[in-house]
Amino acid sequence: MSPSATNGILDERIVSDISLPADVPESNQTAAGVPGDQLFSLKNQTILITGAGRGLGIELALGVVENGGHVAALDILDAPSAEWETLQKTAKLRGVTATYRKADITDEEDFVSAVAEISSRGRSLNAPLQGAIACAGIQQKIPTLEYPVADFEKMLRVNTIGSFITAKAVANDMVANKIQGSIVLIASMSGSIANRGLTCSAYNTSKAGVHQLCRSMAQEIGQYGIRINTLSPGYIRTAMTDALLAAEPEVEKTWMAGALLGRLGAPEDFKAPAVFLLSRGSSFVTGTDLRVDGGHTAAV
């Protein structure tokens, strides 16, 4: 006889874990208590995105404007790539703005100034700076035993310290303006695993640092109603990966062996996860990592 049943009757001490009490006080506290069609809306918000002058950054910016948010794009480039034109057209159709400013995420003084400008402009649009995506980063493939210390330090400076400067500046602005917002740090599955076929110890170390930065900041800034999470992509089809696979075809075979969905990621695969982490729909999610890798790490 089951210890939890007597004469076929469930032990009265066992309660359902899906039943709700008559009153849930937290329902009056969560931002998620809105109709479903508003859960992922970024209307009346400005979202700052670093590394948004090209590639994945622009794709994430597109996801923001498609969901009603204003975008403030930052990058080290003097001007954004040709993809920027598509973003501008979409923003115009949606009745929102997409602005671009050159900024260096490793220069704290310059970056804090950029955040202040973006925040001021957002408030003038009745769309306060309420979210950020730290997408800027670099990659390098060198065997560990040959890795120049200066290059290793640069990787950490851009990927880890750059993410810290971004998150710190945005969080300080949110606190000053009493904004309960969301910060998303683009990390990588490589911050949790070693990549077969790739010699990128500095990159992997830098992204592991981003993961820990997120967890550590979350326990400090949660008191202000600010959330921070990481989004960890797997292998993405980019110009860089195309060049690598062309030069080293055997790497693709290694990658595909762990591709549970049978393909690499596309930039479009990361729009919805990023919007989720920025939106009210994830209002009880902080200090965690959302891994979007097509199952690669499950197959390790």
Q: What is the pLDDT of residue 133?
A: 98
Distance, in Å, from the CA atom of 99 to the CA atom of 12, rounded to the nearest integer, reads: 61
Which amino acids are annotated catalytic? 203, 207
- Architecture of 39-236+269-294 per CATH? 3-Layer(aba) Sandwich (3.40)
- Determine the pLDDT at residue 53: 96
267-289 average pLDDT score: 97
| pLDDT tens digit sequence for 82-137 | 999 999 999 999 999 999 999 999 999 999 999 999 999 999 999 999 999 999 99
Query: For the residues 42-47, what does the mean pLDDT come to?
Result: 98
Under the banding of pLDDT at 50, 70 and 90, the label for residue 44 is: very high
CB atoms within 10 A of CB 200: 21
Instruction: Render pLDDT for 177-234 as a digit per residue (tens, 0 to 9).
Output: 999 999 999 999 999 999 888 899 999 999 999 999 999 999 999 999 999 999 999 9
Distance CA 274, CA 258 (A): 24
Output the pTM of the full model: 0.92
216 in Cβ contact with 276 (< 8 Å): no
pLDDT at 7: 56
Domains of the chain, by residue range, sit at 39-236+269-294
pLDDT of residue 96: 98
Which long-range contacts (C-beta less than 8 Å, at least 24 apart) are formed by 116-123?
116/173, 118/46, 118/48, 118/72, 119/46, 119/173, 119/177, 121/46, 121/72, 122/45, 122/46, 122/70, 122/72, 123/177
13: pLDDT confidence band, cut at 50, 70 and 90? Answer: confident
> Cβ neighbours of residue 146 under 8 Å, at least 6 residues apart?
none
Q: What secondary structure letter does DSSP report for 156?
A: I
pLDDT in the model for residue 8: 56
Model confidence at 10: pLDDT above 80:
no
